[in-house]
Amino acid sequence: MEKDILAMFPLEYRYLFLTAKEHGQTLNEIRIRAGQPLIFLETGEEWYVDYKGQRIFDLESASRLYREDLDKILAHLCNYSIYAYQEEIKQGFLTISGGHRVGIAGQVVMDGGRIRTIKNIHALNIRIAHEKKGVAGDFLPLIYEKGTLKNILIISPPGCGKTTLLRDFIRYISNGNSYGKGMTVGVVDERSEIAGSYMGNPQKDLGIRTDVLDACPKLVGMMLLLRSMSPQVIAIDEIGSVEEIEALKVASLSGVKIVATIHGSSKEDVLRKWSIRGLKLEEIFECIFLLSKTKDQYVGRKV
């Protein structure tokens, strides 16, 4: 992790990120905006670095990076192969080695109503990926019934750790645990968030029986996995469309178990929202978890 942070930057800028490297375990984001102070976000705290790379809290003395610096950093992040990252740039983010995500802001070039590319990039938001192994451990007795896995849905507002929990569930299910045998898990990772794949290789530990389809649309990916990899479990992050739920229903009816996440703040809201569209999530999912955040603490419970 600490090594990853320095590796993101060309040699000439690394001195500015030495403190960030030391705080790697708790650092959440590094925000680089052209001409603006370099901002580091660490569990609710914001700090900067001076021209020597020392951590400071005084905005006036904070180091700034400029457009040409940003261009060099972006080129380094893309291995000097920006052309190879066009599809990701179009979506506004890159996934780099270590599974960290780099958000991009700049001038959006449209082509027939679709984003062609983002140019004149002037802001980068580096989100440091943290892998928290064991967070799903307490929930394991709830997701199995006599050794059989239930279909699981994780409901959570953004930033409460639904992907982290999903990743840990996948790892436990794939490796096997004291409640159930190891199962073949197929992951459709549309935004490279679950596995944090870099050049197709998962950077996160998803277990020994997990196959990852990286950067693949969920709907296409689920069908592809079903046809080619015969998974026992399919895992997807952030269900967003009726078609995706229909596909999950089909997969579930064919005997495949489902582990999925969805945005929402309560079970009732989510179920109501989807029942309007004629879908009953409770018919698919036998085990629903709700995540929330209270005073810097992340709380998960079965609902």
The residues binding another protein (CB under 8 A) are 6-7, 9-12, 14, 72, 74-76, 78-84, 86, 89, 106, 117-121, 199
Nearest distance, CB of residue 124 and another protein, angstroms: 13
Report in angstroms how near the CB of residue 175 gets to another protein at its nearest. Answer: 29
Give the DSSP letter string of the chain: -HHHHHHTS-GGGGGGGHHHHHTTTTEEEEEEETTSB-EEEETTEEEEE-TTS-EE--GGG--B--HHHHHHHHHHHTTT-GGGGHHHHHHTEEE-TTS-EEEEEEEEEEETTEEEEEEEEEEEEEEPP---TTTTGGGHHHHEETTEEPPEEEEE-TTSSHHHHHHHHHHHHHH-BTTB----EEEEETTS-SS--BTTB--S---TTEEEEET--HHHHHHHHHHHT--SEEEES---SHHHHHHHHHHHHTT-EEEEEEE-S-HHHHHHHHHHTT--HHHH-SEEEEEEEETTEEEEEE-
- Return the number of the residue (197 or 261) whose C-beta is nearest another protein: 197
- Closest CB to another protein among residues 97, 252: 97
Minimum Å gap between C-beta 116 and another protein is 9
Between residues 9 and 289, which has the closer beta carbon with respect to another protein? Answer: 9
Query: Least Å distance between CB 213 and another protein?
Result: 17
- Tell me how far, at minimum, the Cβ of 252 lies from another protein, in Å: 35
Report the b/e string of 42-76 with b at 16+ CB within 10 A. Answer: beeeebbbeeebeebeeeeebbebeeebbebbbeb
Task: Name the residue nearer to another protein (CB basis): 73 or 206.
Answer: 73
Q: Between 94 and 271, name the residue whose CB sits nearer to another protein.
A: 94
Between 7 and 216, name the residue whose CB sits nearer to another protein. 7
Least distance to another protein from the beta carbon of 221, Å?
19
Give the nearer residue to another protein in terms of CB position, either 8 or 170. 8
CB of 199 to another protein, least distance (A): 7
